[in-house]
Amino acid sequence: MLHSDIKSRPIYTQLEPDLSGSQHLLIVEGDTVLPGRLDSLAGTFAPVEEQLHTWLVGTQAGGLGLGKVWRLPDVADVVDAFACATRGYGIGDRLYVQGTEPFLWSVAKAAAIIGFSADQIHLHHAGSLRRRVWCTHCHTVTENVTTSIASCAGCHRHLLVRDHFSRRLGAFMGVMVDAEAPGEVPAVEENFA
Amino acid sequence: MIGETLRLKVAAACAISPSLRHLRLVAADGGKLPPAAAGAHLQLVLKGATRTHRNAYSLISRPGARDAYEIIVRRVPASRGGSAFIHEQIKVGDVLEAGWPGNLFAPVRTARRHLMIAGGIGITPFLSYLADFAFGGADYALHLCCREDEQHVFDPWLAGKSGVSVHWDTDGRRLDIPALLAAQPVGTHLYVCGPAAMNDEVLELAAAAGWPASHVHCEHFGSALSGGEAFHAFLAKSGVEVSVGEDESLLEAIERIGVKAPCLCRGGACGVCVTPLLEGEAEHRDHYLSAAEREAGRLILPCVSRARSGRLVLDL
Ligand code: FES
């Protein structure tokens, strides 16, 4: 489910330091790190360790000690930290984010708001495929969707979860699945566990 | 004024320094001019005694102005003719032919901050930027590097503008470009316009400081670049041979014999003039072709590039 013919579906890459950057900020959603994977991430970023800050978010497998490490309880704290950044971020800085898609895009959006450009941000998907879904009818965002059809948290319509993705909203589009024939809802599949 | 070209009357012409002339151009028919945005340039057709020059100049008039276009022209020491013509021949009341304004160097609207570095006359596109930013309240800084004796030449356009620093080659007045580039916040866009050596230096330093390429913009002035050894070119489609003189560009030689060739910036930047090269080896001087395209040797930009040796055959 990480690949799609839909062009707006983001494509993620492995994280590796962009050596042209001046400062490097690595933000990891803690529970997406598999045992042993932290060490390999540490190895990958070793060349820029002097210029590296790592933010570990949420619960985590301990042990990562990469550059200067800061622990934050929740992605909302990352967003806050960007919004009231006392240290300005530089045009030569690079941001690397690992986590689920809702996490990646929450961080990427917050970074974009303070001026990071897309080519300064590297995103790597890890962990659950759960999606943030934006209802095209009532514009409510439904979090943690793992099924092909989900009930909108706002208007309770049955939404077909599309691969169409909005970078601005950081969410997949959800469209009413039984608009033509009310009540005819196809079988729900657990696609994004 | 509707038509493929504009007819402009010289309303004022004055020397603002021994080597700089300021021109104010209005529509010859007294009408309104097409508006141009910040960073736009104007291509003037300059009909000299022996040949016609087409040179592009940045508009320094207020963006959107429809009453007049203003330009500043530096007299190039070994002038190919265009700048000497403007300095020596043009007088108030003359009518010139010009293309519609084009814009290859517009400021990026989504930028958080604009950092401009100008070398001498390279300040001209930024004079229109400043006029533009004054409205929008954009955050910006302009660094002008020039000769000490020219530090006040642009004052009439800089008066009352904050964020402008002037540098020249003396202890304490030099611009520390690496330090400047390293200190810029995310969301900054860099614009550089100056002599080729300065442009190249700034671009290299920006890359070294980690600037994303999408945030770095450069305007080259190509006019001084296009001369070189004389050579011949054969235009295969038109079936004519043209000899290109030392002080004219391939494009100018093609235009001189009356063959129509597309162009826009005339400085090797826009790629509009790109022409298939059927035979011969080009000396590429443009900023448009990729390394692979140069290597392949099948394309040439006649506005700046020449023959490495002997003769070129163009599909024109
Ligand atoms: S006219 Fe723009 S590259 Fe030649």
* pLDDT tens readout for residues B8-66: 999 999 999 989 999 999 999 999 999 999 999 999 999 887 778 888 899 999 999 99
Interface size A-B, in CB pairs within 8 Å, comes to 57
Candidate from A114-123, B72-81, B113-122 with smallest mean pLDDT: B72-81
Q: How high is the pLDDT of residue A68? A: 84
For chain B, what is the mean pLDDT? 91
Which amino acid does the sequence have at A144? N
Candidate from B79-83, B110-114, B161-165 with smallest mean pLDDT: B79-83
- Which residue of B lies nearest to A120 if distances are taken between CA atoms? B212
Q: How high is the pLDDT of residue B20? A: 93
Decide if pLDDT at B90 tops 60: yes
Report CB contact under 8 Å: A91, B186. Answer: yes
The domain boundary, picked from B219, B234, B266, lies at B219
A118 contacts in B (CB within 8 Å)? Answer: 214
Range of the domain at B270: 226-314
- Stretch B102-123: mean pLDDT, rounded? 94
Decide if pLDDT at B220 tops 90: no
In a shared domain, residues B230 and B292: yes
In a shared domain, residues B215 and B230: no
Centre of ligand 1 from the C-alpha of residue B263, in Å: 5
Q: What is the pLDDT along chain A (193 residues), one digit of tens a residue?
A: 677 888 999 999 899 999 999 999 999 998 887 777 777 888 899 999 999 999 989 876 555 667 788 889 999 999 999 988 756 899 999 999 999 999 999 999 999 999 999 999 999 999 999 999 999 999 999 999 999 999 999 999 999 999 999 998 999 999 999 999 888 889 999 999 8
- Which residue of B lies nearest to A95 if distances are taken between CA atoms? B186
Q: Is B186 on the interface with A (CB under 8 A)?
A: yes
- Secondary structure tally for chain B: helices H, strands E: 7, 17
Q: Residue B129 and residue A8: Cα distance in Å, rounded?
A: 34
Q: How high is the pLDDT of residue B265? A: 83
The domain boundary, picked from B66, B82, B103, lies at B103
Q: Is residue B306 part of a domain?
A: yes
Q: Is residue B108 part of a domain?
A: no
In ligand 1, which atom is closest to the CA atom of B271? 3
Q: Is A117 on the interface with B (CB under 8 A)?
A: yes
Decide if pLDDT at B166 tops 90: yes
Report CB contact under 8 Å: A91, B213. Answer: no
Phi/psi at A111 (5° precision)? -70, -40
Q: Are A116 and A88 in contact (CB under 8 A)?
A: no
Q: How high is the pLDDT of residue B272? A: 92
The set of residues, in sequence order, having a beta carbon less than 8 Å from that of A125 and lying 6+ positions away, is: A2, A12, A98, A99, A100, A101, A104
Ligand 1, CB within 6 Å, residue ranges? B 263-266, 268-273, 286, 288, 301, 303
Q: What's the number of domains chain B is made of?
A: 3
Q: How confident is the model at residue B80 (pLDDT cuts 50, 70, 90)?
A: low
Centre of ligand 1 from the C-alpha of residue A174, in Å: 47
Report CB contact under 8 Å: B186, A22. Answer: no
- Which residue of B lies nearest to A90 if distances are taken between CA atoms? B185
Which amino acid does the sequence have at B207? A
Q: Residue A81 and residue B132: Cα distance in Å, rounded?
A: 33
In a shared domain, residues B262 and B291: yes
- What's the token pair of residue A178? 């039984």
Q: Checking phi first, is residue B50 left (phi over 0); if not, alpha (psi -120 to 50) or beta?
A: alpha
CA distance B168 to chain A (A): 26
Centre of ligand 1 from the C-alpha of residue B284, in Å: 12
The answer to whether the predicted template modeling score (pTM) of the entire model surpasses 0.80 is: yes
Q: How high is the pLDDT of residue B48? A: 80
- Which residue of B lies nearest to A94 if distances are taken between CA atoms? B210
Domain ranges (residues) in chain A = 23-125, 131-176
Q: How high is the pLDDT of residue B224? A: 47
Candidate from A17-26, B51-60, B221-230, B261-270 with smallest mean pLDDT: B221-230
Q: Which fold has domain A23-125?
A: Rossmann fold (3.40.50)
Q: Is B214 on the interface with A (CB under 8 A)?
A: yes
The domain boundary, picked from B51, B81, B103, lies at B103
Candidate from B75-79, B119-123, B173-177 with smallest mean pLDDT: B75-79
What CATH code is carried by the domain that includes residue B304? Answer: 3.10.20.30
In a shared domain, residues B53 and B70: yes
> Which A residues, 60 through 89, put their C-beta within 8 Å of a C-beta on chain B?
88-89
Q: Residue B291 and residue B269: Cα distance in Å, rounded?
A: 15
Report CB contact under 8 Å: B187, A91. Answer: yes
- What's the token pair of residue A101? 């898609």
CA distance A78 to chain B (A): 17
In a shared domain, residues B175 and B130: yes
Q: Residue B266 and residue B252: Cα distance in Å, rounded?
A: 10
What CATH code is carried by the domain that includes residue B211? Answer: 3.40.50.80
- What's the token pair of residue A40? 């390999």
Q: Residue B238 and residue A74: Cα distance in Å, rounded?
A: 70
Among candidate residues B186, B204, B37, B194, the one with its CA nearest the CA of residue B107: B37
Of A88, A114, A117, the CB nearest to B212: A117
Helix (H) or strand (E) holding B131: helix B124-136
Decide if pLDDT at B262 tops 50: yes
The set of residues, in sequence order, having a beta carbon less than 8 Å from that of B239 and lying 6+ positions away, is: none
Find where tokens 């049955």 sit.
A158
In a shared domain, residues B187 and B274: no
Report CB contact under 8 Å: A117, B185. Answer: no
Length of chain A: 193
In ligand 1, which atom is closest to the CA atom of B251? 4
In a shared domain, residues B25 and B74: yes
Among candidate residues B303, B285, B312, B308, the one with its CA nearest the CA of residue B82: B303
In a shared domain, residues B242 and B182: no
Centre of ligand 1 from the C-alpha of residue B19, in Å: 26
Q: Residue A32 and residue B211: Cα distance in Å, rounded?
A: 30
- Stretch B243-262: mean pLDDT, rounded? 90
Of B181, B186, B209, the CB nearest to A116: B186
